[in-house]
Amino acid sequence: MRSDLRAAGTAVGALLAGLVVLALGLAASGYDAGNALAALVTGAFGSWSAFTGGTLVRAVPLILIGLGFALALRGGALNIGAEGQFYLGAIAATWVGVHAAGWPGWIALPALAAAGLLAGALWMVVPVVLRLRFGVLEVISTLLLNFVADALVSLMVLGPMQEPTGIYPQSAPIAASARLPLLPGTRLHGGFVVALLSAAGLSWVFARTWWGFRLLALGTGPRAAEVSGRVPAKRLLATALFGSAALAGLAGAFEVSGVSYALYQNLSPGYGFTAIGVALLARLRPSAIIVTGIIFGALEVGAGAMQRDAGIPAVAAYVVEAVIILALLLGDAASRRGSSQKPVVEAAEVLP
């Protein structure tokens, strides 16, 4: 309980540090910091439509990818390639969605979601094989595959999946039956509910299942876990990585099915990297990832409003996110110094 409180305290402190740095930076560059922060808060929470259609919609991919990042990291693996897996999910979902005309929604939507999950996981096959067979760290391989996925989206929207007129670099719109239902009167799509359910499910897996326990054992002490003979290290790691990638793919599918209704280049404004901050700020706890996902969603939507109303570049939001992550790491390091506690986040050693 004490460590829970301390962890929550560090998280709140990190969040404040991010906002303070933003305010100081704005003041230092001659902006009216009060005005700008007001624009940020209003942009994210100012109205029902801003909150649901802006903040919560933005939170959906962040929560899903953040859950995936946490899943892999619990087992000691770092999936830095969510960006690519997101795009694979988006491509597959678009393909299903475009061909779903005439299908009933109860077939089209599950098919679309399954395509996203599967495509995301498929994008992880190469990194898993490289890691387990050749010892290539997944950090490098998933990162490299992001660029391949980028090129693949470009290839699709200018090639086989381009809209029929062949003018714009985008796909044809997906069928109405393949679009996620919206909360009446808002732009919030049903993917939000799935994100909440995924968090609940993962929370259960982590806390209540033998599999989740062994995954944590692998993540915190890979050598001990292997030597014990009770932990099938390779299989666990592979499953966690595939699950991580599948969640990112699902995020991509929902972005198409609930927001864009077509495949575009640059569909993701860097969700794959932002979600790392989401997962870390939540200390890898699924239920907390819902909260931090919404906070980061608010931050990015608010930053957009700040750019419109106060002329401050929206990319400043990345600085805030980075400061939050760095402050968390520093806070952990400081509290570790006093005790012999293991760090919350520690990359595993390389498996042979």
Partner 1 sequence: MDALAVTSDVLAAAVGIATPLALAATGETVAERSGVVNLGVEGAMLFGALGGAIGATLGGPATGLALGVAAGILVAALFAAVAIGAGADQIITGTAVTLASVGLTGTIYRQYYGPGGVGLSIPTLSPLPIPGLAGLPLIGGALFNQPVTTYLMALATPLTWWLLFRTRAGLGLRAAGEDAVAARAAGIPVRLTRMVAVLVGGAFAGAAGATLVLSQVGTFTERMTAGRGFVAIAIVVLGRWNPVGAVLAALLFGLATAMQFAFQAAGLKVPYQLFLMLPYLLTLLALAGVVGRVKAPGELGKNED
Footprint of partner 1 (CB under 8 A) = 25, 29, 78, 80, 126, 130, 133-136, 139-141, 143-148, 150-152, 154-155, 158-159, 270, 273-274, 276-277, 280, 311-313, 315-323, 325-326, 329-330, 332-334, 336, 343, 345-347, 349-350
Q: Give least dist CB 24 to partner 1, A.
A: 13
**What residues form DSSP beta bridges with 264?**
170
Q: Cα(351)–Cα(53) distance, rounded to whole angstroms?
A: 44
CB closer to partner 1 out of 59 and 344: 344
Distance CA 116, CA 178 (A): 13
Which is closer to partner 1, CB of 238 or CB of 280?
A: 280
| Shorter beta-carbon distance to partner 1: residue 21 or 290 | 21
Nearer to partner 1, 120 or 127 (CB): 127
- DSSP label at 161? T
- Complex with partner 1: residue 65 or 113, whichever CB lies closer: 65
Q: 17 Cβ partners below 8 Å, 6+ apart? A: 323, 324, 327
Nearer to partner 1, 21 or 194 (CB): 21
Residue 210 CB, nearest distance to partner 1 (Å)? 27
Q: Which is nearer to partner 1, 147 or 211 (CB)?
A: 147
Q: Which two tokens stand for residue 224?
A: 């001990």
- Determine the residue type at 196: L
The tokens for 313 are: 């570049």
CB of 293 to partner 1, least distance (A): 16
Minimum CB separation from partner 1 for residue 232, in Å?
21
Residue 120 CB, shortest distance to partner 1, in Å, is 18
Judged on CB neighbours under 10 Å (0-12, 13-18, 19+), 2 is exposed
Least distance from C-beta 350 to partner 1, angstroms?
8
Distance CA 292, CA 230 (A): 34
Burial class (CB in 10 A: 0-12, 13-18, 19+), 144: middle
Residues 6+ apart with CB under 8 A from 26: 32, 33, 36, 37, 312, 316
Largest CA distance in the chain: 65
Q: Measured between alpha carbons, how far is 128 from 85 in angstroms, rounded to an integer?
A: 13
Type of residue numbered 27:
A
Q: Considering beta carbons, is residue 151 or 200 the nearer one to partner 1?
A: 151
